[in-house]
Structure 1
Amino acid sequence: MNLSGVFYLGWRYLVRNRIKTLLLVAAFSLVWLLPSGLALVVSKIESQLRVRAAGTPLLLGQAGSPLELVFNGLYFTKPGIATFSFGETEAIDESGLATVIPLYARFSVGGGGGGKYRIIGTTLDYFDFRGLELREGRGLIDLGECVVGSKFADANGIGPGDAIISSPETLFDLAGVYPLKMHVVGVLSPSGSPDDQAIFVDLKTTWIIEGLGHGHEDAEKLGNDARLPVSAEDRAAAGETGGEIRLNASVVQFNEVTDENADDFHFHGELSDYPVMAAIVVPTDAKGQAILKGRYGRPGGLQLVAPSEEMDELFATVFSVQDLVLGLLGATGVGTLAIGALVFLLSNRLRRAEFRHLLHLGAAPGAVRALILFEACFVVLSSLVLSVVGLLAIDRFAPVLVRSFFG
């Protein structure tokens, strides 16, 4: 049996029927690639999500969906969740049971309230907790300053000395809350986490963006055109002594904190009543963790969740769905392989005359069988090679895609 002749005839047949060959190779490649590719992608997503969850002991938030709290506290992807008062975090901090790092991730830069880059109001403890280091510039000191992640800085050409403006939540803000111009004082080193795409500011800066704090010229220095005329009867009804000054809507609030107007920014009411969306809670010891879990374990009010436990529940559901999908893909794959085998059988039946001519020319029956086997092996092996290449591509680019969705 001349193997070189078998390979030559088999190759010429595959080239002549290239469309059928390509379709079979593509179909078989998908049979091998889809189940293994799906399992690989889920594995990459799981590892990416679990790393950040495992590094966060507890998250405090308003009662609601624990998973939404986790995604907002870890990945800043749920800016619309309910808030709770900053005083709750102060109470835990003062108890000595844990260190608390508040987070307020409602606002963004670029594209409105759902902008691409989230503004994170927090404290300096956050940088130490996440192990974030500065690539250039310095840390936060004053109101209106921000430290940006490396991806945000590189994508927008931002560095220390530049300024960025927060995006309004709506096109027409009837509440009169103006976008705030923030000064970039530092850029963080890459961390491979959602922090690379975030803009970090002091909590008070986010409250200024929300309109809870503001700055304007000293009321006593303004002229009569900026003051509201108030009768003595109205003052008496309001309990005012006469020293108070009421300003009209012509007084424009500052939309930038500078050295000249920093002292004119102020907050009304108690800061402990101001909102935060989540708080990272780092217990001092196991006893403190048990006490806090018991304190916030009752339904209603606030909730204290362990991100790693929430991820366990999430991926238990994901794996159940994955098993179902893999079962369906397996059944589809068996059907595809059966159809492919049928195509081979019908194709060989149509080639009976060709095989008879080969036998009349002196080809051995084994050579004919080898020719059929070569064509089948070529399709199967080619599809396996393509599926391996596809898996390598998924393994290479899946982490990049996962980080693009979750930071």
Structure 2
Amino acid sequence: MSGLLYLAWRHARAHGARTALLILCIALALWVPLTAGVLARRYNTDLRARANSTPLLIGAPGNRYDLTLAALYFRPSERIETISYRALDELQAENRATCIPLHQRFTARGFPVVATSIEYAEFRDLRLAEGSDPLRIGACTLGATVAEDLGLKSGDFLYSDPTELYDIARPPALKMRISGVYAKTGGPDDGAVFCDVRTAWVLEGIAHGHVEAEEIDEALVLSRTDDSVSVSGALIEYAEVTEANEASFHYHGDTSLLPLTAVLAVPRSTKDATLLKSGVNARMPLQAVTPSAVIDDLLGVVFRVKAFFDLVGLFLVVTTAALVGLVFLLSSRLRTAEMRTLDRIGAPRSAARTLIALEVVGTLVVAACLSVSATALTLRFLPDLVASF
């Protein structure tokens, strides 16, 4: 057997180009369905885990998929309508759940800015790697991925992205002081910037503060009187909440109408969850959805599409196997003289078949190893699609 192994190895080396081409074709045919299957199982598990850990989401009537994806995975969507802060007060008044406000309409350096309360960190079990939670207006705490990618830490500053660069009517970017960094969780929270909901209202332009007249750059002053100063908004590059002006930040109008994008409700019991959901959907101009049911429906559609591509992958494997078999069959026909030589030197009659089988098995083993390695590399370097879903 060792002699036949040596002959198979020498034959593969002598026809290196053909052998390499066969290995690559087989490895590719195996890599596509293998990687797709592993990724599908991973994302299915991770997506369902995030959804199953979130009991109830409440938001404006509309597309429940947009509401769920935005609230759970911070996926931006301009189609999500806001709800008023009054809705949060009414939900809390029912005393059936812990209600956590969410506001997610802005970004900072491309990362989503998630405005919420301290209860969110407790609910998601977010641990601080350094610093503190964003308790003050104008402060923020970074997810682990944000801090790593931007090279920021506690005490540094992060600027929000302006919504309309050339629209002077829109509020300028906000210079936020980083109060802390959360430890890595492996989920969407790693790629978000967290702040208090009051900070989101500053970003909206609803809340604003005042500065002392002597602190204003004269280049920005349009006009000045004894008791007022008119400043050019077009020249203000960014706003900043400091210890000097924090107390002056206020809202105009009814504070109960301040916007939120969703409310994350954690019912105290299954009965409370049922009553709260049915009550919201029946009486209030809101919608309450169960994230696990929404994700199940979404993944049901995705996996029906995946079933089609699984058939395509199976067809690819079968076609490749047929072509490889044809190549080895034609190769064995061309090696008739070689097989006759084996017979003349006294080799067993099964030696020719064993030699071909060793070559086939060796090619398949090398191709399978290459396919598994390629799948491992793909999973290693592919971005985490769940964290940025």
Secondary structure of 2:194 counterpart: strand
Q: Does 1:170 align with 2:169?
A: no
Choose from 194, 208, 212 the match for 1:214. Answer: 208
Q: Does 1:279 align with 2:263?
A: yes
Indicate how the Cα distance of structure 1 residues 56 and 355 shifts in structure 2: closer, same or farther if over 3 A, else same: same
Partner of 2:85: 86
* Number of equivalenced pairs: 381
Indicate how the Cα distance of structure 1 residues 250 and 404 shifts in structure 2: closer, same or farther if over 3 A, else same: closer
Larger Rg: 1
For the residues of structure 1 that align with 2:156 and 2:361, how far apart are their CA atoms? 62
Contact 1:98-1:282 at 8 Å conserved across structures: yes
Partner of 2:176: 182
The C-alpha deviation readout for 1:292-317, integer Å capped at 9, x for no partner, is 22223359942111111111112222
Secondary structure of 2:54 counterpart: coil
Query: 1:226: how far off?
Result: 4.0
Contact 2:141-2:182 at 8 Å conserved across structures: yes
Q: Does 1:402 align with 2:374?
A: no
Q: Does 1:122 align with 2:105?
A: no
For the residues of structure 2 that align with 1:121 and 1:139, how far apart are their CA atoms? 12
Secondary structure of 1:132 counterpart: coil
Partner of 2:55: 57
Cα RMSD after superposing both structures: 2.7
Partner of 1:230: none
Choose from 278, 282, 296 the match for 1:312. Answer: 296
For the residues of structure 1 that align with 2:228 and 2:272, how far apart are their CA atoms? 49
Contact 2:186-2:387 at 8 Å conserved across structures: no
Partner of 1:73: 71
The C-alpha deviation readout for 1:14-64, integer Å capped at 9, x for no partner, is 111111111212222233332232111101001111111111100111122
The C-alpha deviation readout for 1:179-207, integer Å capped at 9, x for no partner, is 11111112222222222222111111111
For the residues of structure 1 that align with 2:50 and 2:35, how far apart are their CA atoms? 24
Contact 1:48-1:402 at 8 Å conserved across structures: no
Partner of 1:7: 5
Contact 1:53-1:311 at 8 Å conserved across structures: yes
Query: 1:106: how far off?
Result: 0.9
Partner of 1:231: none
Partner of 1:339: 323
TM-score in terms of structure 2 length: 0.89
380-389 or 298-307, larger mean C-alpha shift: 298-307
TM-score in terms of structure 1 length: 0.85
Partner of 2:360: 376
Query: Which aligned pairs between 1:232-381 and structure 2 lie closer than 5 A?
Result: 248=230, 250=232, 255-298=239-282, 301-381=285-365
Contact 1:79-1:105 at 8 Å conserved across structures: no
Indicate how the Cα distance of structure 1 residues 142 and 7 shifts in structure 2: closer, same or farther if over 3 A, else same: closer
Query: 1:129: how far off?
Result: 1.1
350-359 or 194-203, larger mean C-alpha shift: 350-359
The C-alpha deviation readout for 1:50-105, integer Å capped at 9, x for no partner, is 11111110011112221111111011112422211121111101221222111111
Partner of 1:100: 99
- Aligned partner letter, 2:96: L
Indicate how the Cα distance of structure 1 residues 49 and 94 shifts in structure 2: closer, same or farther if over 3 A, else same: same
Choose from 131, 150, 170 the match for 1:137. Answer: 131
For the residues of structure 2 that align with 1:358 and 1:192, how far apart are their CA atoms? 60
Contact 1:63-1:300 at 8 Å conserved across structures: no
Secondary structure of 2:384 counterpart: helix
Contact 1:41-1:394 at 8 Å conserved across structures: no
Query: 1:266: how far off?
Result: 1.4
Query: 1:224: how far off?
Result: 10
Contact 2:155-2:178 at 8 Å conserved across structures: yes
Contact 2:223-2:231 at 8 Å conserved across structures: no
Secondary structure of 2:350 counterpart: helix
Secondary structure of 1:405 counterpart: coil
Query: 1:269: how far off?
Result: 0.8
205-214 or 371-380, larger mean C-alpha shift: 371-380
